[in-house]
Amino acid sequence: MNSTNKVAWIVFMVLAIAVGLYPLTYFFFDREFGLLASKSDALLSNTFWNIGFYGHILFGGLALMIGWSQFSKKMRSSHLKRHRLVGKIYIVSAMISGSCGIYIAIFATGGLISTLGFMGLGCLWLFTTIKAYLAVKNGDLQLHQGFMIYSYAACFAAVTLRIWLPMLSHLFQDFVMAYRLVAWLCWVPNMVFAYIWVRRKGIILG
């Protein structure tokens, strides 16, 4: 691995871990900050929404925080049992977080545009994760790797959202407009990157 790739890998790892730990801040600070500041009191007191919200951010954070390690060739070859265990935890976490994400997308700030964006992300995350799981169960490791690239690209939307949102909010001076855009920008470019990565690896997704 050359120095440029090593720096990119370190940045990738640090961002994944840092944003993966970010949900814990909701337990140490007043909830009236970040994305919750745009929510109504009625929604914040809704039991089902709270279950969906915390299920999404906590399990999504866990998936993000551990998922990056699965792309390490050294770990896969030297610690196969650990790779499989982490993979199982990732899949369960993605299923819970993705399902919760689809539910809370109904109440997304910005209305229908935001709702469709985040629902699309949730559905894509669930679909690619399930396909990755079925592929490895059938012994197709190449297909498994391809779909896991897409799955983690969807998961990594948690990072890209936090990069795009402050920039767009500053640019437009309008949080709602920025949020509508970020509902799509946080994951569509990630999917394009995943597509290019999969194609370069020569993986054919059937």
pLDDT of 189 reads 97
Give residue-wise pLDDT tens across range 176-206: 999 999 999 999 999 999 999 999 988 888 6
Closest-CA residue to 129 (of 90, 83, 81, 84): 90
pLDDT at 17 over 80: yes
Residue 97 · residue 56 · CB < 8 Å: yes
Residues spanned by the domain of 30: 3-200
Query: The pTM is what?
Result: 0.92
pLDDT of 159 reads 96
Confirm whether 90 is domain-assigned: yes
Give residue-wise pLDDT tens across range 143-154: 999 999 999 999
Confirm whether 105 is domain-assigned: yes
Give residue-wise pLDDT tens across range 55-109: 999 999 999 999 988 887 777 777 788 889 999 999 999 999 999 999 999 999 9
Confirm whether 86 is domain-assigned: yes
Domain count, the chain: 1
Confirm whether 135 is domain-assigned: yes
Confirm whether 206 is domain-assigned: no
pLDDT band at 33 (very low <50, low <70, confident <90, very high): low
Confirm whether 113 is domain-assigned: yes
Confirm whether 205 is domain-assigned: no
Confirm whether 21 is domain-assigned: yes
CB-based contacts of 185: which residues, under 8 Å, 6+ apart?
A: 160, 164, 168
Task: Round the average pLDDT of the chain to a whole number and report it.
Answer: 91
Helices (H) then strands (E): counts for the chain: 10, 0
Residue 100 · residue 62 · CB < 8 Å: no
